[in-house]
Amino acid sequence: MNGRSLRNWLFVGCLLALFFCLLGFSLFPRYTSDAEWYIAIAQGHFDVPKPWGSRILHALLAGSIARLTGISLDLAFYILAVVSTFIIGLGLACLSHRVHGNAWHSLWAFNPFLLQAVGSIYLNDLFLLSLCIVFFAVLEIPWLAFPLVILMSLTREVSLIAALVSGSVLVYKGKRLYGASIVLLAALAYLFIIPAIAKGQNLHGSSDFIYLVGRSFAAFFKNFFGFQIWTDTLASLWEKWDMSGCETPLVAFTLPPKLRIGNIHAIGLCPWNPWHIIYFLATYLCGWGLLLGMLWTLRGNFANLVAIASPNIVAACLFGLASLLLAPFVTYDFALGRLSIYAIIPLVVIAPSFMQGCHRVRGVLIPLIHVALLMAFLLALKGLMNPYGLAVLTVFGILGQFFAVYSCFSKKGQATLEVLEGVKDDRQAKPPDGEKK
């Protein structure tokens, strides 16, 4: 990479990060529903309920900065948010330059969920995204990647997916021992290091495995069928936190003593609420712009992309897609976007190549429709759109995805294959056709 290229992506990365900071801090409040748990960890309380109590690194780092420098805890969290945002901006600009030869394509990373993560300074989503970007950048350097695996594992459990995907890609690329070591190291950190630090139980008093299975089952039912699972423990929490829930379930059963799970003595089903499904559909059809249409259009090339691209690019893209796919089975409502935020990585990789395969006239409309959906969903994420407006927006999101799918030529995937072969840097050293060296 020459000096001009380095200055270019550094400039674009810093500009992108500054843009995200200005919008994120001004549009979204820093305090959210889960913030109290992370603030408690930062203050040195390790009896915080799980899963928050197992996500310790970000909060501990903020608390340590505040104690060592004498600044307020709020300012320490702000510093981490700014640093994380600049790492993300620079990382995406570098990725865009490496794949497409143009750092400005990283502007495709603009997303309401990323802005929300920037503004929610107490949450660890932004911090983990920055760690993941650094991890994938150094994936082929084991002595740098191994410490990052542990750091990510101490930040949030979704990092286990990053380790599993990265390890699988490395094994596929022939680096079997290295790939298996990454997966094993992440598992050891999650099974032994975190339990040694995090002392709290989950709010239902069940085992971690039962909690994970139950939460996944509840998220699946709520997102895809509109039914929310009810338990007596959830009802008491809704009342304590003044949250909207179904205090009166549609049907409920008292569990026999031998079948009780932790503090759960009764289980039931809340009345059907179609808005749960609308929130889920709007998040994916509008909150991510035209990403689904792009993925569907380029679906036939994924196997070739895995075979051609370097391990770190493949692992980063597959992790982003895995988070997008698994989020509905872990969480619900607008929290879906925070858990699938890592999908901005494959979006930056595939969107410019998708544009190269689009019809020239209709292709002009693709970025306009993409941005329009994002901006409209940003209003919904800010609470400025009622459920009926969100339903209308979802319809426009469906139409937008169809437009994206049918705006591409049959050779829609060739550009993607070409840029991921890494031939862009070679072209810079070669003269144009017909010109002598």
SS (H, E, C) 96-137: HHHHHCCHHHHHHHCCHHHHHHHHCCCCCHHHHHHHHHHHHH
Average pLDDT of the chain, as a whole number: 85
In a domain, 10, yes or no: yes
Q: Which is more confident, 35 or 417?
A: 35
Task: Count Cβ atoms within 10 A of the Cβ of residue 429 and give its class: 0-12 exposed, 13-18 middle, 19 or more buried.
Answer: exposed
Q: Which domain covers residue 245, as residue numbers?
A: 208-275
DSSP 193: I
| Same domain for 177 and 296 | yes
Show which of 275, 298, 313 is a domain's final residue. Answer: 275
| Same domain for 378 and 296 | yes
Report H helices in 154-287.
159-172, 176-188, 194-197, 208-225, 232-241, 274-285
CB-based contact 178:166 (threshold 8 Å): no
| Same domain for 415 and 343 | yes
In 10 A of CB 156, how many CB atoms? 25
CA distance 228 to 220: 9
What's the pLDDT at 429? 39
What's the pLDDT at 57? 93
In 10 A of CB 278, how many CB atoms? 17
Q: Residue 417: which residues within 8 A CB-CB, separation 6 or more? A: 301, 304, 305, 308
Q: What is the mean pLDDT of residues 376-385?
A: 91
CA distance 171 to 146: 16
HSE at residue 269, side-chain half, CA atoms within 13 A, is: 10
Show which of 275, 308, 331 is a domain's final residue. Answer: 275
pLDDT in tens, 167-193: 999 999 989 999 999 999 999 988 888
Give me the number of domains the chain comprises. Answer: 2
What's the pLDDT at 371? 95
What's the pLDDT at 427? 36
In a domain, 329, yes or no: yes
In a domain, 330, yes or no: yes
**Coil, strand or helix at 264:** strand
What strands lie across the sheet with 266-269, from one edge to the other? 229-231, 266-269, 251-254
CA distance 387 to 411: 39
Q: Is the pLDDT of residue 357 over 80?
A: no
CA distance 126 to 128: 5
Q: Which amino acid is at 202?
A: N
| Same domain for 121 and 37 | yes
| Same domain for 155 and 79 | yes
What's the pLDDT at 424? 42
| Same domain for 193 and 313 | yes
The torsion angles phi and psi of 300, rounded to 5 degrees, stand at -75, -10
CB-based contact 34:48 (threshold 8 Å): no
| Same domain for 399 and 258 | no
pLDDT in tens, 113-154: 999 999 999 999 999 999 999 999 999 999 999 999 999 999
**Coil, strand or helix at 261:** strand
CB-based contact 425:416 (threshold 8 Å): no
In a domain, 22, yes or no: yes
Report H helices in 343-413.
344-356, 360-381, 387-405
In a domain, 437, yes or no: no
| Same domain for 246 and 129 | no
* Helix (H) or strand (E) run with residue 86 in it: helix 73-100
| Same domain for 259 and 116 | no
CA distance 415 to 356: 7
Confidence at 91, pLDDT banded by 50, 70, 90: very high
In a domain, 139, yes or no: yes
| Same domain for 214 and 101 | no
CB-based contact 104:143 (threshold 8 Å): no
Q: How far is CA 176 from the centre of its chain?
A: 27
Instruction: Please give the model's pTM, rounded to 2 decimal places.
Output: 0.90
Helices 73-100 & 311-326 angle (0-180, nearest 10): 120
CA distance 89 to 396: 30
pLDDT in tens, 298-346: 887 777 777 778 899 999 999 999 999 999 999 888 789 889 999 999 9
| Same domain for 213 and 165 | no
Show which of 246, 275, 304 is a domain's final residue. Answer: 275
What is the tally of helices (H) and strands (E) in the chain?
Answer: 22, 3
In a domain, 345, yes or no: yes
What's the pLDDT at 303? 73
The label of the residue with tokens 């075979």 reads 307
Q: What is the mean pLDDT of residues 223-249?
A: 75
| Same domain for 217 and 175 | no
In a domain, 431, yes or no: no
